[in-house]
Amino acid sequence: MKYTHLPHTDIEVSKICLGTMTWGNQNTEEEGHEQMDYALDQGINFFDTAELYPIPAHPDRHSLTEKIIGTWFKKNGNRDKVVLASKIAGKADFTKFIRTTGFTRESIIEALEGSLKRLQTDYIDLYQLHWPERNTNYFGQRGYNHQATDYWEDNIHQVLETLRDLMREGKIRHVGISNETPWGTMRFLEESKVHASLPRTITIQNPYNLLNRLFEVGLAEISMRENIGLLAYSPLGFGVLSGKYLGNRLPEGSRIALFPNYKRYSSETAVKATRKYYELAQEHNISLAQMALAYVNTRPFLTSNIIGATSMKQLKENIGSIDITLTAELIEGIEKIHNEHPNPAP
């Protein structure tokens, strides 16, 4: 395994992070425990979860993922071996069964206390805001369309004050953001620069993969100049970059088969690009999944690559990407395809 540090800290984390959002829906508790056992044995010490998981969000499965992680901690007594990240859900129609009050002080405290109880721990290493409260472009929206009727009162200062107080209580070690834009990222950083008592945002968890490299447009420079690390999610684009959907295949039990609305990475242009990447991987005797993950692993703004799997076979292949070294010729081939089909999946 390879390691890096959470920016502005001495916390060492594996460059592969174990994603958990299928546990409690596509994966059982036993399977989740098996994945954590294997990941830890392979040197992965960084797990990412959320109060919303498993996905898709549903009242009957609310926060089962955190509970599965909690029972694993209790069974093994190894909380100290894991750098644990979780998230408070944002405001949306599909989260009304959790709460409707956004990131108020009371909401953040309620969310954190719930996560701590389910995770059976007294602290979370990295606590993240799952997505912005304001209306902006995330979750597959390529561009920002401002609407005059949108109303959002800028409460970022108050949010950071609440998170600071929870850090002082020892319940949170550091804070991060997720699904953020360049504007939002700089607003969080601005507050902590102007007000020294407020916590600095150290990570941003956004999508990044061969079909969606929009992070490079505005956020990569912020990441490098401000030292805010990317936690890349969906590095295989909902599994599309494994190649398993090519040829109009729809494997039984796959995410798109189970949840047909998860087609963010399945447009006609995205399929064309995926086919090109698949052919390139074949030419170099490497699996498409490992090529796609290994490329993400090379990015200079990356802190950790969040992989996820529903089977142990997938998990082993994904973790194995850390040992893949892409040749200059292969990287040149990737960039050529990217120039021909830039960011087909926002």
Residue 147 pLDDT: 85
Residues 235-275: tens digit of each pLDDT: 999 999 999 999 878 787 787 888 877 788 999 999 999 99
Q: Considering the entire predicted model, what is its pTM?
A: 0.97
Residues 146-201: tens digit of each pLDDT: 888 888 999 999 999 999 999 999 999 999 999 999 999 999 999 999 999 999 99
* Residue 201, CA atoms < 13 Å, CB-side half-sphere: 28
Residues 59-69: tens digit of each pLDDT: 999 999 999 99
Is residue 60 packed enough to be buried (19+ CB in 10 Å), middle (13-18) or exposed (0-12)?
A: exposed
Residue 156 pLDDT: 98
Residue 179 pLDDT: 98
Residue 252 pLDDT: 79
Residue 171 pLDDT: 98
What is the three-state SS of 200-226?
A: CEEEEEEECECCECCHHHHHHHHHHHH
% of the chain exceeding 70 in pLDDT: 100
Residue 256 pLDDT: 81
Residue 6 pLDDT: 98
Question: In terms of Cα–Cα distance, which of 235, 340, 256, 255 is closest to 298?
Answer: 235
For the record, the structure tokens of 142 come out as 């390529």
CA torsion, ordered 63, 318, 128, 299, to nearest 10 deg: -170
pLDDT, average across residues 52-59 = 94
Average pLDDT of the chain to the nearest whole number: 96
Which active-site residues does the annotation give?
Answer: 53
**84 - beta bridge partners?**
47
Residue 26 pLDDT: 95
**Looking at the chain, how many residues does it have?**
346
What is the three-state SS of the chain?
A: CCEEECCCCCCEEECEEEECCCECCCECHHHHHHHHHHHHHCCCCEEECCCCCCCCCCHHHCCHHHHHHHHHHHHHCCHHHCEEEEEECCCCHHHCCCCCCCCCHHHHHHHHHHHHHHHCCCCEEEEEECCCCCCCCCCCCCCCCCCCCCCCCCCHHHHHHHHHHHHHCCCEEEEEEECCCHHHHHHHHHHHHHCCCCCCEEEEEEECECCECCHHHHHHHHHHHHCCEEEEECCCCCCHHHCCCHHHCCCCCCHHHHCCCCCCCCCHHHHHHHHHHHHHHHHCCCCHHHHHHHHHHCCCCEEEEEECCCCHHHHHHHHHHHHCCCCHHHHHHHHHHHHHCCCCCC
